[in-house]
Structure 1
Amino acid sequence: MMLTPLLSLISAFMIGLIAVPQVIKVIHKNNIFDQPGGRKIHKAITPSLGGVAIYIAFYIAFCAFVEADQLKEFQYFIAGSLLIFFMGIRDDMLPLNPKNKLIVQLLSASMVIGLHSIKLESFYTLDFMGDFPEWFSVIASLFMVIALSNAYNLIDGINGLAGSIAALFFACMGGWFLLIQELGWAVFSLSMLGALLGFLWYNWNPAKIFMGDTGSMVIGFSISIVIIVFLNLNKALSSQHSYFINNSVSLSIALFAYPIFDTLRIFTLRMSQGRSPFSPDKLHVHHMLLRMGLEHHHVTLVILCVSICAIVMAWGLGLVLSDRFVLLWLAISGFVLNAGLNWRVKRVFFERDKRAEHKRNIILRKERQKLLQ
């Protein structure tokens, strides 16, 4: 039985390796490309809709290896994610109105939260208040699913980044579900991991295909649901259980650290400049790192390494500190990282401007010498 989730991972990976090139061929045949320009930083026309291949690989592997009696547990998620999937295809081919996207997201989240009762129940290991009232539980869950889904969508800006962050998340969750013998959710997480790895094979710099909203919206939706499931399953475990997490809230935040950090940072910057938090720009952390001279794959590796450090540190601190202190540590770390990044960016741009001014002075000096001659 424990072998089944691992087989789902391998199968999803192999299917992904086969499916992505076929999607690329269809895109080329129908001339459906992500055009460069505007906020987009790629220089050549590139196939989008990579999420179609991820979706196909994930669901074939998941449906093949999940137990028949466990499949009922996922029926509302499957229905909701299908809505998100088709919304993503429509948005990748012809941009969709943000209000219509929000309506679809609300409907999809309502299916899982309302019909299957996968929702936030309390503040969990923060040990604050008691269980939520039903109405608050539903509202908080809807807000979390939509917020995290869109936060993940915002980081899909450079080659390999969004896929790598999601792969790290599902690897951690799949491993934990295996340890507590929740095989249905283990198959779910590892199938998604395999599909993402198959996609990343073609998405690593230089990218042959992009994830697009088709992928980022479904994956963000999946991550938000898995976080709620993780919190509830951990709450149901005895505190003496070998794999009980003492700081499930702060660890959940650490697992999704970069999308949360980048979204809060970018919203704060925009509002401090008197702009809408949803206005487009190139102020994301990955954009800043690119402007400092790093290549796409270097930026992705840097962010991935920082994310891994955050997860390891949050888990380690959770063994000796309460969840509140670990959460405080995450907040302080985020503030320090943001301050350090801003300082470094200003320093790089200052030095760049200084070098440019020095070159201009040299050119002017040479021109004066020519005139004097």
Structure 2
Amino acid sequence: MSLSRHNVSAYAGKLGSVKEYLLLALVTAAVTYLLVPPVRAFALRIGAAPEVRERDVHKVPTPRLGGLAMFGGMAAGLFMATQLPHVGGAISSGQTGNTVIALLAAGGLIVLTGFLDDWLGMDALVKFGGQVASGGILVYFGMNLPFLPLPQSWGGSTGLDGNLRTVLTILIVVVVINAVNFVDGLDGLAAGIVGIAALATFAYSIVLSQTSSGSRINVTAAVTAILIGMCLGFLPHNFNPAKIFMGDTGAMLLGLLLATSLVTVTSSVEPVAGINKFPVILPLVLPIAVMVLPLADLIMAVVRRTSAGLSPFHPDRGHLHHRLLDLGHSQRRSVLIMYAWTFLFAFTIVGLSIGGVPLILFPLTILLAVAVLVLMALPKLRSRQDATRYHRSVGAHAASPTRHRDVTTPR
């Protein structure tokens, strides 16, 4: 079947836009990667490498402030975006036409807040104020939640007045920032999970852009492409054994950008323009899917701490990654397990968004989940098996004097 000249032109345009997004990710990753060594040297010079605390899992003082390199990568990615024909036009038009200024201003404030906390320490309420203010900056520049895409049986798409959209947008920003901050406890964990979440959101936005030309979905694609680049550029320096930590400087910046992408993707298109048989629910479910582990960790931490009469921000060793370590997993294995869970949930939802997903996907998802649980238990099972073999060996040698003399003392 031959394609019309219009279809060929449209396809070429879509392919070109994807190449621009990939270029954004590449430039952001390269700049972030190259900025980490000087940022590390700066952190060491000003003493932003605190002593190891009781709840920490690393053994030696490690410099923080990796978020400064991420912010530099983000700024480079945003500048590159303004120079590209498709992406530049998308982020400079429509309701979100001030995307670059909004992200630089909100990101700059949240980085300054995190920098002061990583360097000098800061009260939790002051940090909370910085998070709220950053969300307010996004709202001021039009990057808010104008409506909720609800099913027709619930009244259809529901517009939000100025006060409600402001409150909901800031709430999403604060929750996502703290969820990312809470999960940042192992080398490479936060950067990897946010990178996977951004990749899932990027995939969804690219598919959705095939049926929608709205500027918000293109902003989502651009923001997530930059976010992916920030994570990829930082991970080589941060994966176990980490040479530098992102600190609150980086964790809150990643949370801010991820929240921005979730806000824009949720209200990208009207429900009637859906791309599959789940057009209404998916924009609401996707943010939960890509944030399932950080959100679960955040909720459990708040419940755990408040039930003990402590502040929700009081640090402890009850996070999900601590539990994996307590099961006997190494840092790397724990991180990879949490990567797997994030990928599983996020891309299952994205798969549903593409349409035509067979029912077999659901039992397969369950089997994959069980497989991950089995992998989590393997170190414990191995330790039990080794202990059993050891006791049997000792018993056999005790029963045989000749063999007992041949046994060397274990080191």
Task: Using structure 1 for the length normalisation, give the TM-score.
Answer: 0.80
Segments of 5+ residues of structure 2 without an aligned counterpart are 1-15, 392-411
Q: Which of 324, 331, 340 lines up with 1:289 in the alignment?
A: 324
Q: Which of 128, 134, 140 lines up with 1:108 in the alignment?
A: 134
**Is residue 238–residue 245 contact of structure 2 (8 Å, CA) maintained in 1?**
yes
The one-letter code matched in structure 1 to 2:138 is: V
Change (3 A) 1:117 1:160: closer
In structure 1, the partner of 2:8 is none
1:238 aligns with 2:254: no
After TM superposition, the structure 1 stretch with the greater mean CA deviation from structure 2, 254-263 or 232-241, is 232-241
1:306 aligns with 2:341: yes
1:80 aligns with 2:106: yes
1:160 aligns with 2:166: no
1:141 aligns with 2:169: yes
In structure 2, the partner of 1:63 is 79
The one-letter code matched in structure 2 to 1:112 is: L
In structure 2, the partner of 1:279 is 314
**Displacement after TM superposition at 1:15 (Å):** 1.5
After TM superposition, the structure 1 stretch with the greater mean CA deviation from structure 2, 151-160 or 104-113, is 104-113
1:173 aligns with 2:216: no
**Is residue 62–residue 245 contact of structure 2 (8 Å, CA) maintained in 1?**
yes
Higher alpha-carbon Rg: 2
1:264 aligns with 2:294: no
Q: Give the percent of matched residue pairs that are identical in Structure 1 and Structure 2.
A: 23
In structure 1, the partner of 2:263 is 228
**Displacement after TM superposition at 1:35 (Å):** 2.2
Change (3 A) 1:224 1:101: same
The one-letter code matched in structure 1 to 2:326 is: R
Task: Using structure 2 for the length normalisation, give the TM-score.
Answer: 0.73
**Displacement after TM superposition at 1:283 (Å):** 0.3
Query: In structure 1, the residue corresponding to 2:145 is in which secondary structure?
Result: coil
In structure 2, the partner of 1:39 is 55
CA distance in 2: counterparts of 1:18 and 1:115, whole angstroms: 31
Q: Which of 124, 129, 139 lines up with 2:150 in the alignment?
A: 124
Query: In structure 1, the residue corresponding to 2:147 is in which secondary structure?
Result: coil
Change (3 A) 1:107 1:174: same
Residue by residue over 1:22-68, the C-alpha shift from the partner in whole angstroms, topping out at 9 and shown as x without a partner, is 21222233333132113222110111100111110121122123355
Query: In structure 2, the residue corresponding to 1:166 is in which secondary structure?
Result: helix
The one-letter code matched in structure 2 to 1:94 is: L
Query: In structure 2, the residue corresponding to 1:294 is in which secondary structure?
Result: coil
CA distance in 1: counterparts of 2:147 and 2:270, whole angstroms: 9
**Is residue 187–residue 239 contact of structure 2 (8 Å, CA) maintained in 1?**
yes
**Is residue 12–residue 195 contact of structure 1 (8 Å, CA) maintained in 2?**
yes
More relative contact order in 1 or in 2 (CA 8 Å, sep 6+)?
A: 1
CA distance in 2: counterparts of 1:236 and 1:198, whole angstroms: 36
**Is residue 126–residue 249 contact of structure 1 (8 Å, CA) maintained in 2?**
no
**Is residue 124–residue 235 contact of structure 1 (8 Å, CA) maintained in 2?**
no
CA distance in 1: counterparts of 2:199 and 2:28, whole angstroms: 13
**Displacement after TM superposition at 1:235 (Å):** 3.3
**Displacement after TM superposition at 1:148 (Å):** 1.5
Change (3 A) 1:157 1:190: same
Change (3 A) 1:150 1:129: farther
After TM superposition, the structure 1 stretch with the greater mean CA deviation from structure 2, 176-185 or 87-96, is 176-185
Q: How many residues are matched? A: 340
CA distance in 2: counterparts of 1:10 and 1:133, whole angstroms: 37
**Is residue 48–residue 118 contact of structure 2 (8 Å, CA) maintained in 1?**
no
In structure 2, the partner of 1:203 is 238
Q: Which of 121, 131, 151 lines up with 1:95 in the alignment?
A: 121
In structure 2, the partner of 1:363 is none
After TM superposition, the structure 1 stretch with the greater mean CA deviation from structure 2, 113-122 or 209-218, is 113-122
The one-letter code matched in structure 1 to 2:316 is: D
The one-letter code matched in structure 1 to 2:251 is: S
**Displacement after TM superposition at 1:127 (Å):** 6.0
Change (3 A) 1:16 1:142: closer
CA distance in 2: counterparts of 1:126 and 1:146, whole angstroms: 30
Q: Which of 142, 150, 153 lines up with 2:178 in the alignment?
A: 150
**Displacement after TM superposition at 1:223 (Å):** 0.9
CA distance in 1: counterparts of 2:341 and 2:114, whole angstroms: 29
The one-letter code matched in structure 2 to 1:177 is: S
**Displacement after TM superposition at 1:165 (Å):** 0.7
**Is residue 105–residue 146 contact of structure 1 (8 Å, CA) maintained in 2?**
yes
**Displacement after TM superposition at 1:184 (Å):** 4.1
Segments of 5+ residues of structure 1 without an aligned counterpart are 322-328, 359-373
Change (3 A) 1:190 1:240: closer
Query: In structure 1, the residue corresponding to 2:222 is in which secondary structure?
Result: helix
CA distance in 2: counterparts of 1:13 and 1:133, whole angstroms: 36
